[in-house]
Amino acid sequence: MLSGTGWGTLAAGAVLTATGYGLGYGELAALGVTCLLSVAVAVVWALPAPRLGAERRITPGRVSRGDPAEGVVTLVNTGGRTRRGLRAVDRCGDRDIPVDVPPLRPGAAHESRYALPTARRGRVPVGPLRLERTDPLGLARRMRPYGAEDTLLVRPRICPLPVLPSGRAHHVEGPASDAADDGSLTFHALREYVLGDDLRRVHWRSTARTGTLMVRQMVDVSLPHTTLVLDGRRRAYASEDDFELAVDCAASVAYAAARSHFPVHLVGEAGPLLHTEGSGDDGEALLDALAVVRRSDLTSLAAAFEGRPGGGRGNNGTLVVVTGTGDSRGLGAVEGVRGRFDRVTVVRAGAVAQGTGDEVGAGPGSDVPQLRVASLDELLAGWRREAVR
């Protein structure tokens, strides 16, 4: 394809050639023909596709928001001629990142490193790498994609938090079902048998029906459960930065519970997002899920508490609600479910918005602890105070 200069040269050559021949000016015609020939030579120069091998890797593939990440591109000249005049551009999200490409001799390889943007959470598509070959005058260029598209996952930032004691006695050995207190095991689901399962938990009726050995999966209900509600409503936050802080707070709370191998139930403003049982990889799964959370246009948070009626003695561990300092519509539903939990805490992230109805009456009762935080450092300090309360 022609560059802007190439199209200008082509148009000028056509005009000069036509004018020179039409008016009998040989010099103008010669100049016009020269312009046209220059464009033709530039196209022929840029037309051959270079024989190159391209490989990209992202290090690391998962990164916390704001932490450094690099793209590493390795180009290998697999042809028999030295390649010059090459320019590489890698696409990262909505940005083009130029990649330096020196002249490559046959069989030579060159590695380029460049920083990737990590200021915002989410899955950031990287690639494919575009390689441009241009002529010396810059009149024409050929662009060709090389390599596959990769993904950089930018996750929330977290700070180390203690797990809030929920007032429930739990086994000091953690979530191992064979070490749980007597009577604390509850049927959860059926699954296929794996080597090492207790044969006493084989469900013979399902085994006969499916033709596959099925066992009962039991969970330890004595483990402290954490139910985490993240308010993603746009109107709940004064700015995008306040929402990012709320996601960071939610990620810190969830990761603290998962690090201790405790179950976590993650809920958004519209309903459940992820439930973990306390395995070793739960923390990573929770961070991955929170990496792609986006704000919504829902008007109320009440849907997050549906299906959790109140009343009765607390038996569901800890409820943590993370929201902003803006509109608190639906936050009063905490009162309706607080009887089901041993402990309830509300975290309000960001600066207080004026005229948003951010009063005690607009949210949960005054005896429900509310932590107002403007940074992760404030969350850490307030959370530690709450943990010893």
Q: Global pTM?
A: 0.72
**CA dihedral (339, 340, 345, 351) positive or negative:** negative
Whether the pLDDT of residue 266 is over 70: the answer is: yes
Query: Which of 171-175, 273-277, 352-356 bottoms out in mean pLDDT, i.e. has the lowest?
Result: 171-175
pLDDT of residue 312: 40
From residue 32, alpha-carbon distances to 3, 11, 20, 36 in Å are 18, 9, 8, 6
pLDDT in tens, 172-193: 444 443 434 334 456 667 888 8
Whether the pLDDT of residue 314 is over 50: the answer is: no
Amino acid making up residue 216: R
Closest CA to 365 of 331, 327, 325, 315: 331
Query: Which of 146-150, 185-189, 211-215 bottoms out in mean pLDDT, i.e. has the lowest?
Result: 185-189
Q: Which of residues 48 and 76 earns the better pLDDT score?
A: 76
- What is d(CA 324, CA 234) in angstroms, rounded to the nearest whole number? 9
Query: Which of 67-71, 118-122, 133-137, 138-142 bottoms out in mean pLDDT, i.e. has the lowest?
Result: 133-137
Closest CA to 155 of 276, 292, 359, 298: 292
Q: What is the largest CA-CA distance in the chain?
A: 107
As a whole number, the mean pLDDT across the chain is 82
Whether the pLDDT of residue 359 is over 70: the answer is: no
Whether the pLDDT of residue 252 is over 50: the answer is: yes
pLDDT of residue 315: 52
- What is d(CA 327, CA 162) in angstroms, rounded to the nearest whole number? 29
Write out the two tokens for 178. Answer: 């064979």
Whether the pLDDT of residue 197 is over 50: the answer is: yes
